[in-house]
Homo-oligomer: A and B are copies of this chain.
């Protein structure tokens, strides 16, 4: 069985907006052992939507519509599905009463527009919407002699997500052939995709029944495993077997095998060792602290620090002597070292981390004259001493800044191993 997802809405045919529901729906369908073979994005035109519905019914066993169930003239999914399926729409009195009560509870009179939200495809099972006025609909029927499962779901993420998970999925579990999926994710930082693949491909190729996906991006490599088996146990065992073999190969290069982000792992490790951290950031200007403080509970292990963007603040907040900044330039090994040590002492943290570099758009100027774009120093100080790592990063300002924070986190993680 294969599925097609149809996302209806003209805004997704502009240069500004994308369908995102399909990612979540794909995950849910995969859980049930169903791959998504096609996705179609179509606007509010009833003609185009009917065409998309006919095409999907001709090539997929399961067709899921997202969007187009609202009350406006632009909401045509019910009508298009009815036309493509050759079914009638009848107005459901109970649903209508529910809609009227919904408006009454808000002390409003239901506009005539909303009447059509009570239209139901003949034979459809209704899926209640706890977060909006559009009910979902599910059909399991014959179409041109073939079995077709059709789902009409609302577009807003806060409506479609609970409706799919809580209403539709239990029905699909019942009517689809049983399938059990196990997933696992291994995460690594700062290693080139090709280097990872060269080491892990010989391993995962021995597991043809486990689907392995390598994703590279944001200074991170993710290895996703998925395996479907007749029982959940078998599926999990197989994924675990592959994962263990790869963990054995990649060892400490893997920062997480249970989903955590790199900043979460660093905070967990600080917590386990009863350590605290402070940061002095120059070129990253708060990005590193922003990543760490994005994690709930981080305040126990990350104390804060300083954004020493202006040179004078390197002295004001981390006691870096002015003549070192002047002499070696703010982007230098010495300044990185002194910043890490200074912020540690000032804040009383167990560890101090610093980032100073040239993020662009151009190469260094003033005291940093002649230093190339992408030159970054990371300092890490604790009671035992200080280390400084020199990086030559490539790309634009945004990339250099993000990679610098990733290197800083990875340096802390490896130091804490």
Q: Which A residues are closer than 8 A to B by beta carbons?
A: 11-20, 22-24, 26-27, 30, 35-43, 45, 48, 51-52, 55, 59, 213, 215, 222, 224, 278-279, 281-290, 292-294, 296, 298-299, 302-310, 312-313, 316-317, 346-348, 360-361, 397-398, 401
Chain B residue at smallest Cβ distance from A288: B286
| Complex-state Cα separation, A303 to B27, whole angstroms | 45
Q: Which of B294, B303, B310 contacts A303 (CB 8 A)?
A: B310
Inter-chain CA distance A308–B305, complex, in Å, is 7
Inter-chain contact B41/A14, CB cutoff 8 Å: no
Would you call B11 and A15 a contact (CB within 8 A)? Answer: no
- A213 near B286: Cβ-Cβ < 8 Å: no
Beyond known contacts A293-B309, A306-B307: 6 more, CB 8 A cutoff: A15-B24, A18-B23, A285-B286, A285-B289, A304-B307, A305-B306
Shortest C-beta distance, A292 to chain B (Å), equals 7
The reply to whether B26 and A15 form a contact with Cβ atoms under 8 Å apart is yes
A sample of 24 inter-chain contacts (CB < 8 A) reads A12-B39, A13-B36, A14-B224, A15-B30, A16-B23, A37-B48, A39-B40, A51-B59, A282-B304, A284-B290, A285-B286, A285-B290, A285-B294, A285-B302, A285-B304, A286-B287, A286-B290, A289-B309, A293-B307, A294-B397, A303-B312, A304-B306, A305-B313, A306-B306
Query: B residues within 8 A CB of A26?
Result: 13-15
User: Residue of B at shortest CB range from A38?
Assistant: B42
Query: Is A307 touching B289 in the complex (CB atoms < 8 A)?
Result: yes
A13 x B27 contact (CB < 8 A): no
Choice from B16, B288, B294 contacting A224 with Cβ under 8 Å? B16
**Would A40 and B38 be within 8 Å (CB), given that A306-B306, A309-B303, A316-B347 are in contact?**
yes
Name the B residues within 8 Å of A293 (CB-CB): 283-287, 307, 309, 401
Contact A309 B313 (CB under 8 A): no
Which 6 pairs across A and B sit closest by C-beta, in order of nearness?
A285-B293, A286-B289, A286-B286, A304-B309, A15-B27, A304-B307
By a CB distance below 8 angstroms, the chain B residues around A43 are: 37
Known: A290-B285, A294-B397, A307-B279. A37 touches B13 (CB 8 A): yes
Contact, CB under 8 Å: A35 / B51: no
Nearest to A289 among chain B residues (CB) is B286
Contact A38 B23 (CB under 8 A): no
Nearest chain B CB to A31's CB is how many angstroms away? 10
How many Å lie between the Cα of A49 and that of B317 in the bound state?
60
A42 to B5, CA, bound (A): 11
Q: How far is the CB of A343 from chain B (nearest CB, A)?
A: 10
CB distance from A384 to the nearest CB of B (A): 23
Q: Which residue of B lies closest to A39 (CB)?
A: B41
Q: Which residues of B contact A18 (CB under 8 A)?
A: 18-20, 22-23
